[in-house]
Structure 1
Amino acid sequence: MNAKNGFMVLSLLFVCMFAHVAFVEPVSAATVDVQNASYYSNGTLSLSEQIQSILDNAASGDTIKFLGNVYENLQLVINKKLNIVTSGTKISGSNSFGSAVFLVNGSQASGTQISGFTITTNAGSGIILNNTRSATLSNDQISSTNGSAVTVNKSSNTVIKNSNIIDSNTGITVSNSNNTKITGSTIKNNKEDGVDVENSVNTTLSQDQILNNAKRGVNVYNSKNTTITSSTIKGNGNNSTAGLSSNEGGVYVKSSDGVKITNSKITDNSQGVSVVDASNVIINSNTIVDNYGEGILLSGSANGITVTSNYIDGNNNGIMVNYYTGNHVNISGNFVTGSENRISGEDSGNGMSFGSGYCVRSVTEVIEHNAVWGNENFEMRARYASTTPKIGSNWYGNSDKLCPALEYAASIKLKLERIGTNTYIVSFVDGVTGKLVTDLYPTLVTLTAGGSSQTGTTQNGQVTFTVSDDCLTGMITATANGVSVSIPWNSQKTNSCNTDNGNTNSGDSPPDSSGPGSTGNGPGSGSGSGSGSSSGTSGSLSSTTGVMAASAAAGQAGSNGEGDSKSKTAQELFIDNAVKNSHVWGIIGIIVLIVLVLVAYYRKDLMCMIKKSRN
């Protein structure tokens, strides 16, 4: 065989081998059964050793299915990707400290899933994920009497979902890890913390129930980008340790950056949320109620702290500001009420209090547009603060319980206007700027006209009422938290003061007699309920909340017929398929390239063959 023939044969063999590798379907993963524990009772090895042998002999990607009801004293190591499943199997661990029922160890075990087990152990952990990636624990119940039920260490992209983590020393420990997600799980009755996050990045807790843990519901230390959202955090901590120096309670954040606590219920804990020496923390849209100590405590160094739109009720102090430096701090749009004097030896029962640690006021500190009223002691208090706090425009209802140790801006004012023949709008406006306070927490307002009244709740700082003709007489009165403002029923119609949030209103007849009325906070003390609505005493009034014009434009997108068409030409379909099957086209391209190389190499021979065929 000459060189050219040899080259041709080798090239054809290469093409065949390449095509075989590219197009042969991969071997599907196997399912390996683990029989009842009694099945392994006659062996010379222990039950744990025999099951470990099954795991060791399985191929990466296999499913290991536990069929038995109970297995005791297991200590198993997973060093490859396995899908370990059951429907209700109970496993107890060994009594060795530092051990685990399942140890998922190393990068080779990345992608392992463990689902459906009830795991208990007296020492060590139920499950340890060590130096691995993309492990998933789901629908498990795990407890460790003297350890962490689940330990995530030096791992990434871990998911713990729909599981019960209970009756352990610590529920879940996340350390030196990133992109850990804990979702839809119940974490309760642990002797220390429910979830302990340390030295980790991008940890998310979502839709969890974190209940009755002895020290802290969630502890975040020296970590970045931790998110707690849509969760219930209740009954955590010891009330005897509550107060300014407490490191227990619902959520405790220390020496961390980029923490978000949103849309959660944080109730009946020794402390609500404590933030110490932290930066870039957002506490937004939470219900923080009936915590024995502070609802929110800010202490140490506070940089980039945002506390907005929270409902804070029935705590020792609603918000305690005790930091020695505060830069870019924004406390606004919160509803703070019902604080009670609970802790002896502490200045408590205040809506918002500034402690002895508050000694540096920053020009970037903004405290405004909060509704603070109905607290047992003071609405605002700074008796022991080393620096005089400077407070923006807030709403205090008719309360005069304002500590003289603070510097106050003019309070938010209540404003009533007629905007139509029988339509009236009640607005809350900043006492300094006169602008509509769009970030005020929804507030209950009562409108009285012609002897009939009804209530409505503000939205974006306003609420609109429509009055029937038989009630258009005398004075129209709006009341909120003990503050009232009145105007004649036939006052001059206005466009209201809602130009700052894009709302519009218009009248439909020439101006009448007098203009709008407004009032600030009156003297005396007052209390009231939170936001809500109730029916009036007469059917002659109706209410609509907040005039919202922005929604009108939302439906215009695509109405001009310029939206994307769902039909595609043959050329477009061809391109789509090419993109979706790019690896196939890559293989075809390589084959074409090999053919071209062969043609070029044998060009002279091919030309001779063509000439001979013509002769």
Structure 2
Amino acid sequence: MPTIPSTIKPVATTFVIAAYNSINSTRADFKASNNNAQDIINQAINQLSSIGGEIKLLEGTYTISGPIKLKDNIKLSGIPRSTIITIPDNFNTDINAFQNGELTSANSNINIRDLIIDMNSANQSGGTMNGMMMFNVDGLDLIDVVIRNILNTGVEVEGGDNITLDRVRTINNNGRTIYIHDSDGCTVRNCFATESGSHGIFIENLTAPSFISDNACILNSISGITVINSDSVRLTNNICRNNDIDGIYIQDTEGHFISNNTIIDNLTNGIELQSSENGIVTNNLVSTNSGIGILANASPLNTITANRLDSNGSHGIQNTGASIGSTIDNNKVTASGGHGIDNSSTNIILASNSIGGSGSGFANINNSSGSCNIQNNLCRSLGTTDYGILNSGSNNIIAHNDLLSGGTVADFSDNGTGTVLFGGNRT
């Protein structure tokens, strides 16, 4: 006869919860009341198996007055576009719609998907109200979640690792929409961050590579994407437009890779590097930003290559503040309001760029530093730019550039010392 095991392994549990207004609540294990819906949801979470399980929220409105508290190995899912978590009018009290436990200890494997968090900000006058607050979660997945009308932060994740946000839409939040900090690496992809009172996506103090791709960050009050003190971040295929400061802002970061992004109509700079080194900025479209297209300040050893910059309000590319040893090549820069390329850092390779139609009173290439190699660039005035190349630095190589009709004042103006021309330049 078969032997009956002395212990039975626990199995994952699934509970179905209905809202007070769910159409078909007969198949639910629990039914939430019109108010304080978090009580029944937390009750179900606490009754899950010791190894976790799934909470399914049927379509309807779940009005909460306290946080929904998640634990290890849980999947919480709603009905796409039909499950809504909200708070009452005039609640005016601090609340996180979702958090892990009491936010005092680590958790693992939390998955939230297919629901809407609407924190009813139009009918609140006070309180700190966040969509999600997660602390030290190892294995966090937020998928197909809409977070809107929040008085403060949409999603904040502190600590933890294996963090993934996919198809998260944050709309009309007064604070940061997506804020991940003091964690290992993260993946944020296919997200939409718009109309926030702060940053769109904000990544800070991450210790492992992060991947920020295929997101749209539009109409935010600070920058579209901000990365601070987080090495080896990859920003690819994002759209950042109509943000009140920069499209992409990078600070105190090393080994960044910024590629194939569309950065347009931001009110300050397109891409800004501050004190960030050994990175690559390539194949981006940077257009019609009010300030500088690409700014590198105190950011040495970067490669800025094969970007398309058009009609930016100030310089197309500016490399300044001891951003030494960088390479700026194969960029196409047109119709800048200032210089096409403005360099004031030493030991720069500035080669094979195509620059035209820079601002009146400016140069297609303005170099005021020394020991630079400026070769094989094509500069055209297009009736607006004063100089093809304007040099005031020392000991530079300036050769093999096509400067014919490069400037309305002069194709090439050399006010520097020790300039090496080799075979000369076409003027």
Instruction: Sort the TM-score into its range (normalised by shorter chain).
Output: 0.7 to 0.9
Match of 2:249 in 1: 274
Match of 2:125 in 1: none
For residue 522 of structure 1, what is the amino acid of its counterpart?
L
Match of 2:219 in 1: 235
Q: 1:84 aligns with which of 55, 66, 70?
A: 55
Q: Which runs of 5+ in 2 are unaligned?
A: 122-127, 384-399, 409-427
Q: How far does residue 337 in structure 1 lie from its aligned partner after superposition? A: 1.3
For residue 179 of structure 2, what is the amino acid of its counterpart?
D
Q: Tell me, what secondary structure is at the counterpart of 1:257?
A: coil
Q: Tell me, what secondary structure is at the counterpart of 1:74?
A: helix
Between structures 1 and 2, the one with greater helix share:
1
Match of 1:361 in 2: 324
Q: How far does residue 304 in structure 1 lie from its aligned partner after superposition? A: 2.3
CA 249–65 in structure 1, closer or farther in 2 if over 3 Å, else same: farther
Match of 2:158 in 1: 175
Match of 2:110 in 1: 135
CA 73–285 in structure 1, closer or farther in 2 if over 3 Å, else same: same
Q: 1:202 aligns with which of 185, 195, 209?
A: 185
Distance 2:14 2:199 in 1: 43
Is the contact between residue 393 and residue 408 of structure 1 (CA under 8 Å) also seen in structure 2?
A: no
**Once superposed, what is the RMSD of the aligned Cα atoms?**
3.3
Is the contact between residue 319 and residue 345 of structure 2 (CA under 8 Å) also seen in structure 1?
A: no
Match of 1:256 in 2: 230
Deviations 1:309-353 (A, max 9, x none): 100001111011111x523x111110111111xxxxxxxx11012
For residues 415-430 of structure 1, the aligned pairs below 5 Å read none
Deviations 1:122-150 (A, max 9, x none): 53211113532222211111144523201
Q: Tell me, what secondary structure is at the counterpart of 2:267?
A: coil
Q: Tell me, what secondary structure is at the counterpart of 2:173?
A: coil
Distance 2:248 2:14 in 1: 49
Q: How far does residue 66 in structure 1 lie from its aligned partner after superposition? A: 5.4
Between structures 1 and 2, the one with greater strand share:
2
Is the contact between residue 205 and residue 228 of structure 2 (CA under 8 Å) also seen in structure 1?
A: yes
CA 411–374 in structure 1, closer or farther in 2 if over 3 Å, else same: farther
Q: How far does residue 375 in structure 1 lie from its aligned partner after superposition? A: 0.9
Is the contact between residue 371 and residue 395 of structure 1 (CA under 8 Å) also seen in structure 2?
A: yes
Distance 2:232 2:307 in 1: 21
Q: Tell me, what secondary structure is at the counterpart of 1:402?
A: strand
For residue 195 of structure 1, what is the amino acid of its counterpart?
I
Is the contact between residue 66 and residue 85 of structure 1 (CA under 8 Å) also seen in structure 2?
A: no
Deviations 1:457-484 (A, max 9, x none): xxxxxxxxxxxxxxxxxxxxxxx9979x
> Does residue 152 of structure 1 match 2:134?
yes
Match of 1:547 in 2: none
Q: 2:263 aligns with which of 288, 296, 299?
A: 288
Q: Which runs of 5+ in 1 are unaligned?
A: 1-12, 39-62, 238-247, 341-348, 415-479, 484-517, 527-615
Deviations 1:241-261 (A, max 9, x none): xxxxxxx31111111112111
Q: 1:74 aligns with which of 35, 38, 42?
A: 38
Deviations 1:385-420 (A, max 9, x none): 465755233111476532242545223469xxxxxx
Q: Tell me, what secondary structure is at the counterpart of 1:167?
A: strand
Q: Tell me, what secondary structure is at the counterpart of 1:523?
A: coil
Is the contact between residue 175 and residue 196 of structure 2 (CA under 8 Å) also seen in structure 1?
A: yes
Is the contact between residue 171 and residue 196 of structure 2 (CA under 8 Å) also seen in structure 1?
A: yes
CA 71–135 in structure 1, closer or farther in 2 if over 3 Å, else same: same
Match of 1:339 in 2: 312
Is the contact between residue 64 and residue 83 of structure 1 (CA under 8 Å) also seen in structure 2?
A: no
* Identity, % of aligned positions: 19
For residue 72 of structure 1, what is the amino acid of its counterpart?
N
For residue 330 of structure 2, what is the amino acid of its counterpart?
H
Is the contact between residue 17 and residue 32 of structure 2 (CA under 8 Å) also seen in structure 1?
A: no
For residues 508-523 of structure 1, the aligned pairs below 5 Å read 520-523=402-405
Distance 1:74 1:227 in 2: 33
Q: How far does residue 200 in structure 1 lie from its aligned partner after superposition? A: 1.1
Match of 2:85 in 1: 119
> Does residue 330 of structure 1 match 2:303?
yes
Q: Which of 1 and 2 has greater Rg? A: 1
CA 30–377 in structure 1, closer or farther in 2 if over 3 Å, else same: closer
Is the contact between residue 398 and residue 522 of structure 1 (CA under 8 Å) also seen in structure 2?
A: no
Distance 2:29 2:112 in 1: 15
For residue 253 of structure 1, what is the amino acid of its counterpart?
V
CA 65–291 in structure 1, closer or farther in 2 if over 3 Å, else same: farther
Deviations 1:165-184 (A, max 9, x none): 11211010011021111111
Distance 2:144 2:227 in 1: 25
Match of 2:376 in 1: 411
Deviations 1:217-256 (A, max 9, x none): 011110132211111111112xxxxxxxxxx311111111
For residues 567-586 of structure 1, the aligned pairs below 5 Å read none
Is the contact between residue 255 and residue 278 of structure 1 (CA under 8 Å) also seen in structure 2?
A: yes
For residue 520 of structure 1, what is the amino acid of its counterpart?
D
Is the contact between residue 388 and residue 405 of structure 1 (CA under 8 Å) also seen in structure 2?
A: no
